[in-house]
Amino acid sequence: MLLGFKTELKVNKQQRLLLEQHAGVATQAWNQGLALCQQVLIDNKLNPQDKIKFPTAIDLHKWLVAAVKSCHPWYYQVSKCTPQYELRYLSEANIRKDTLHKITTCISKNHAVIGIEDLNVSGMLANGKLSKAIADMGCDQFRRQLEYKT
């Protein structure tokens, strides 16, 4: 039987400041990485002959270090892992979205009639071992995209 517990952190001022700095660095890393990915996509649309390779999490981190570290020395006072985790998650999110678009496009183009079963997703999320995988699937996105593509 799996039990869930709620805990409240009792942090002092210094710990609160560190938590806020970590959250700020993570947010900034996400925004910087997202902006670079959007620039690459726009450039690839405008110049289809000279496409730029879509950046991986490692590429994004190298760019972030070069762009941010010199002008923001506070950036790595918290932890160098904070922006790395955010950029890795950004890359995974982009891959997931791209795959979802490709699958729904393929299904809608190749099949005349499509049947979608309603699943009890909230009930499946109660299973602790499967909940992360089910939440990452994006069942509602899949359904929404299939509806507007057919």
Residue 74: exposed, middle, or buried by beta-carbon count in 10 A (0-12, 13-18, 19+)? exposed
| Per-residue model confidence as pLDDT tens digits over 99-114 | 888 888 888 888 888 8
pLDDT in tens, 4-48: 677 787 888 888 888 888 888 888 888 888 888 888 888 888 988
Which alpha helices (DSSP H) does the chain contain, by range? 13-46, 57-68, 81-110, 121-125, 131-137, 139-149
Euclidean distance between CA atoms 144 and 150, whole angstroms: 10
Instruction: Look up residue 31 and give its two tokens.
Output: 């925004």
Write down the pTM of the prediction.
Answer: 0.57
Please check whether residue 124 is in contact with residue 118, taking contact to mean a CB–CB distance below 8 angstroms: no
Size of the chain in residues: 150
